[in-house]
Amino acid sequence: MAELVAAINRNDRLYYVEARPVIADADYDRMYEELIRLEHDFPQFKDPNSPTLRVSGEPLAGFAPVRHDPPMKSLDKCYEKGELVAFDAFLRKELPDGGWHYVVEPKVDGVSISLLYEDRRLVRAATRGNGEVGDDVTQNVRTIRSIPKALPADAPDRLEVRGEVYMTRDGFVKLNAELDEAGRETFMNPRNACAGSLKQLDPKVVAQRPLDAVIYNAGGVGCDGFASHTELIATFRRWGFPVAPWSRVAATMDEAIAAIDELGANRHGFRFEIDGAVLKINERAFYGALGATAHSPRWARAYKYAPERAETVVRGITVQVGRTGVLTPVAELEPVELAGSVIARATLHNADQIAAQDIRVGDHVWLVKAGDVIPAIDGVLTEKRDLFVVPFVFPTACPVCGGAVARAAGEVAVRCINPACPAQLQRRLEHFCSRNALDIRSLGGRLADLLVEKKLVADPLDLFTLDYAALAELDVGEAGAPRKFGKNAANMRDAVEAARTASLERWLFAIGIPNVGVTVAKDIAAEHEKLSDLPASAVLRHVVANDAKKGKEREILPIKVEAAKAVLAFFDSPYGQTFRARLAALGIDPRRAARTVRTDGPLAGVGCVLTGTLSRPRGEYAKRIEAAGGIVQSAVTSKTRYLIAGANVGATKTAKARALGTEVIDEARLLELLG
């Protein structure tokens, strides 16, 4: 899961910020869905900063930032018809009185955009960015002829609409031909070309690109009076906005699925590329009642069409070792083109999958991009199997260090249990130095590999005793291109020294204890003065003991029991005791970050939780609450006085809060309390 999070974050930047993806969209979606599945099956390992909790992307440097209010969310995805049926069942449970219809529309494969009109004139266009903050691309969007620069007199004075900018299919082919003739790098696909065009700083260049748009949704203002989505779109069309040329209204899920199949059969007939269908409730009155998650509205889904597949041959199966020692098998394939990219490898996940599919070296297999994303073996063509092909035997020893491996009860993962394994150490070093940990930015994957390979580091704490003068002479170049680490060694030394005084929460996350992510580390640090208090922590032991209680005796505590058990187990282990002793020898005992609390403020000592869509950034409210002496919490507990609820908050959350004696208030009431 940690490796998936890192891979998704890396590809988010390549896709949204640099507009140069290195994997197909279908590969990304499959990776994303795999992470969602794992987080559902193993919630105790969920990273509080998981990309599934947020909308992907970041604002681009060079453009002014624009804050979206409300945020621009993405849609939850479905890949099977059964998931659509489950969505229908969910709606019928949430809305037992019925009374809604479905709308099916094409899912345009482009770049999400927000358009703001004031006095009925276009004043701002912004990309989605990370959902909260995007980039001001007004001048570039003004070059798109289909987007109206002024609205008719019956349109609202102030209006925000949202949609998708895309590059036409024919225009993409022509543009790539021109780039190729000029000896310049071509684009991978129309979506990539569209993103690359919008990020141009010169609008004259953008004006030459074949860009167009589809407007499909309301923004934050000007669209409250529409009863249905179809009425909204019809009005958009009348106001001069480009809208989808195809849509269907369905009274039942069966009709909606039929419409999705009809769209799929004609998906290649549009002037823009589509990668699925959008299914949403037509009656807008239900939107507020259903609300939204942190990532997606609960009244819509995106259905992704069945992936393409190709036949290839398994040339080998290699086994990789991750930071936590998990052995992950990877199929080495005869390279084959699939959905616009050449695939030579496919993750097999674990030994159980290999056994279940009976995948063998030498087999002919069907390769798919599940969800048009991550390469996956969909089946073995056993009729083509050679007589001498033998079953794959999963390693009984670590393929990197040769140490023992084990499989815990109830887990599918096989792990190397040697804490000194070089592969684990390399990835642990990267985690130890990551931005949310000790933030030692000079140490990346290449240097981590070299430090372990050269036996300069056998444990993350060795960074504090490393010979940085010698490190400056280390060759960190690629084969045939020698390059010394040089002055980077001094920068790294300074960063390591600064890490000595990093806060307890950062050190807790850096250690890499299972179940201890960024938010959990903060929760634990809030209850302890220093790291040396943790091995004998009465707070953590109370959390563990509380887990065994039943009924009313069981308390609602701010620290998760899985995290408490993991921290206690770590410091009780031989490695944990050695780690603690080394910290003491280094004179390091990380302390809780100092926090100034007003004892005379209007919210002195009062626990507050912020939830839902608020009119101002949560960080701004959090600072004001803390300035007033309040305590901002990540979850409602028995110590929470107020749940500040914005829009799109589910009834279950507020009911739970009231059951704990927590008062549910709105923003206006909060502002009154803040004075």
Residue 318 in tokens: 């290699």
Cis status, amide bond into 602, omega within 30 of 0: no
Secondary structure tally for the chain: helices H, strands E: 23, 22
- The answer for residues whose C-beta is within 8 angstroms of residue 477's C-beta and 6 or more apart is 483
Quote the distance between the C-alpha of residue 672 and its chain's center.
36
DSSP 520-559: HHHHHHTT-SBGGGSTT-HHHHHHHHHHT--GGG----SS
- The answer for residues whose C-beta is within 8 angstroms of residue 420's C-beta and 6 or more apart is 401, 403, 458
* CA torsion through residues 346, 347, 351, 354, sign: negative
- Cα distances (angstroms) measured from residue 624 to each of 256, 324, 595, 621: 47, 39, 14, 5
Distance (Å, whole) CA 217 – CA 222: 12
Residue with tokens 């794959």: 392
Can you state the percent helix, strand and coil of the chain, rounding each to 5? 35, 20, 40
454 part of the active site: no
Quote the distance between the C-alpha of residue 533 and its chain's center.
34
Instruction: Report the length, in residues, of the chain.
Output: 675
Write the single-letter amino acid at 46: K
Q: Please say whether the beta carbons of 117 and 155 come within 8 A.
A: yes
- How many other C-beta atoms lie within 10 A of the C-beta of residue 563? 23
Distance (Å, whole) CA 332 – CA 58: 33
What letter does residue 409 receive in the DSSP assignment? T
Cis status, amide bond into 203, omega within 30 of 0: no
HSE toward the beta carbon, residue 162, CA cutoff 13 A: 19
HSE toward the beta carbon, residue 80, CA cutoff 13 A: 5
Distance (Å, whole) CA 470 – CA 146: 61
- The answer for residues whose C-beta is within 8 angstroms of residue 24's C-beta and 6 or more apart is 189, 339, 340, 341, 369, 372, 373
Distance (Å, whole) CA 341 – CA 636: 46
Distance (Å, whole) CA 19 – CA 393: 41
Write the single-letter amino acid at 239: W
Residue 331 in tokens: 């199929």
Show the 3-state SS of 127-171.
ECCCCCEEEECHHHHCCCCCCCCECCCCCCCEEEEEEEEEECHHH
> To the nearest 10°, the Cα dihedral for 627, 633, 639, 640?
80
Distance (Å, whole) CA 169 – CA 273: 7
Catalytic residue among 73, 107, 280, 522: 107
Write the single-letter amino acid at 37: R
Q: Please say whether the beta carbons of 240 and 159 come within 8 A.
A: no
Q: Which residues are catalytic?
A: 107
